[in-house]
Chains A and B, each alone.
Chain A
């Protein structure tokens, strides 16, 4: 058990004992190796279920909106920023959330490991501080955690939560120096035709399982536009055009709110590089309106406001 994990449990236990929070939202060990699953602890006896390591991939802010009363939540940099977004959008009260901030050095991308292992089944995984040992039926491999970190974490500029009530563990350096918008920038230099081809090719993989919207902490509408049927905005089949429209609108809905946590990309069972799309929206909002989501609870959502001199060269 790492030091951070230990002090996280200590903090959680203390909060529950002192009745400062009714529940802690955190991660517990999943049923498969390399997986963790969100868990909800309200009994001090169960605090030891909580884990913290490089496989804590979900964005827990997803669960805070539906929680009742005051809750404690384990938050990486990206989770904390999503929580800020929820507060800014008045989905939760700042007083009703106790943020246990955890500096995060990056989350493991299972897909990278699966490619490395040629899809062989992993039966046992052991994570130490900076390396990971994987055992299968007839192999044992060791990886440096750094080499299998998710792309979104590689270019992450906010590894330490921007807001928290208590910070557990040592702060980590903020950036690996990569271009924050590398996936988007890479595509921008291509021609219309190439980008269209790339977009259709990528989205042809989509099976409309909606995992991307189900894990996204921003998708909290009671009824999503994909489910509405008066009027029916979107066909229910896997028609390529409907699939594209779904993704375009989902991403438009994240404008000025997305913190580029990469959870949608990681949740996609078909391996669609959704971040190449979501990241473009983050980049556009930054370029046009100079806004970074989730940094301060005083923020006004950029699409709920305007400036007199907003760019309008595209308007005749």
Chain B
């Protein structure tokens, strides 16, 4: 696991600083949604790096924390809408896990905007573009991640 390449140390003062956001997208809905955004030529910020996972239920909280530890400025996890999961209930099990993870990280002081979750179906290319734009805006406002980052 290599450290995601960081920009200059003065990144925050540098206006050209662009956040790096890792997106875990489920194979059946959100990844297809991203694909639809692509083939429909819907514009969205190029700050996200997509990791395709079989299901949002595959995302171990450890993945998310490791992502922050190794230099991502924000994380997005996206899966099928409740009821649409290819594996029936993977996303519902994941929902509980993510709720606890998010609230716990907020409790220890990690900025809430770093962790983002969404439900995006394969038909929601527009929504995908909107969510990514919002996440990028949120993380840009927070500046480069400093908490939990491994030096």
B151 adjacent to chain A (CB < 8 Å)? yes
- Residues in B with CB closer than 8 Å to A249 are 61-62, 65
* Contact residue among A252, A289, A303 (Cβ-Cβ distance under 8 Å from B104): A252
- Residues in B with CB closer than 8 Å to A245 are 62, 65-66, 69, 148
- Residues in B with CB closer than 8 Å to A280 are 104, 107
* Contact residue among B101, B104, B150 (Cβ-Cβ distance under 8 Å from A235): B150
* Contact between chains at B100 and A196 (CB < 8 Å): no
Shortest Cβ distance from A240 into B: residue:
B151
* Contact between chains at B108 and A316 (CB < 8 Å): no
A315 touching B118 in the complex, CB below 8 Å, given contacts A284-B100, A288-B100, A308-B82? yes
* Contact residue among B102, B111, B151 (Cβ-Cβ distance under 8 Å from A192): B111
Give the B interface residue count (CB, 8 A).
38
B117 adjacent to chain A (CB < 8 Å)? yes
Size class of the A contact interface (CB-based, 8 Å):
35 or more
* Contact between chains at B108 and A195 (CB < 8 Å): yes
* Contact between chains at A316 and B104 (CB < 8 Å): no
B28 adjacent to chain A (CB < 8 Å)? no
- Residues in A with CB closer than 8 Å to B119 are 315-316
- Residues in A with CB closer than 8 Å to B151 are 239, 241
* Contact between chains at B100 and A306 (CB < 8 Å): no
* Contact between chains at A310 and B99 (CB < 8 Å): yes
* Contact between chains at B108 and A196 (CB < 8 Å): yes
* Contact between chains at B99 and A199 (CB < 8 Å): no
B105 adjacent to chain A (CB < 8 Å)? yes
Quick one: which of A227-252 are within 8 Å of B by CB? 231-233, 235, 239, 241-242, 244-245, 248-249, 251-252
* Contact between chains at B104 and A248 (CB < 8 Å): yes
* Contact between chains at A252 and B61 (CB < 8 Å): yes
Q: How far is the CA of A249 from the CA of B109 in the complex (A)?
A: 15
B79-111 CB mask vs A (1 if < 8 Å, else 0) is: 000100000010011011111111111111111
A192 touching B109 in the complex, CB below 8 Å, given contacts A303-B93, A304-B93, A315-B95? yes
Q: Could you tell me which B residues sit within 8 Å of A by CB distance?
A: 1, 61-62, 65-66, 69, 82, 89, 92-93, 95-111, 116-119, 131, 134, 147-151
- Seed contacts A244-B108, A244-B148; 19 additional CB < 8 Å A-B pairs: A184-B107, A192-B106, A194-B109, A196-B108, A196-B147, A198-B109, A248-B65, A251-B104, A280-B104, A281-B100, A284-B104, A288-B99, A305-B93, A306-B89, A306-B92, A306-B95, A310-B99, A315-B117, A316-B134
The 5 closest A-B pairs by CB, nearest first: A196-B109, A195-B109, A306-B92, A316-B118, A241-B150
